[in-house]
């Protein structure tokens, strides 16, 4: 059995979590991006209004923190 850290996780917290035995991490690594959301997607609950996309810099920060 293991503990998967997630929910607001930031790369800076990874070393402290590793120090207490956490070995699995989950992060969306998304950031807001410019652009409009299709109104129908918001209406149907598929979008929240702020478009978000995977942020490569955040992914790299997590990789660096975990390594």
pLDDT tens for each residue of 6-36? 888 899 999 999 999 888 888 888 888 877 7
Question: Can you read off the two tokens belonging to residue 37?
Answer: 């959301």
- What does the alpha-carbon distance between residue 28 and residue 58 come to, in Å, rounded to a whole number? 9
Instruction: Please tell me the pTM assigned to this model.
Output: 0.66
- Integer distance in angstroms from the first to the last C-alpha of the chain? 22
In 3D space, the residue among 50, 13, 48, 11 whose CA is nearest the CA of residue 31 turns out to be 50
* pLDDT given at position 42: 78
In the prediction, which pLDDT does 59 show? 93
The mean predicted confidence, pLDDT, of the chain is: 85
User: Where residue 52 falls among pLDDT bands split at 50, 70, 90?
Assistant: confident
């Amino acid at each position: 059995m293991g503990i998967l850290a997630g929910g607001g996780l930031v790369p800076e917290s990874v070393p402290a979590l590793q120090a207490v035995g956490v070995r699995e991490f989950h992060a969306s690594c998304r950031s807001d991006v410019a652009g409009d959301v299709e109104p129908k997607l918001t209406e149907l609950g598929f979008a929240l209004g702020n478009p978000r996309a995977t942020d490569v810099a955040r992914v790299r920060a997590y990789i660096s923190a975990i390594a």
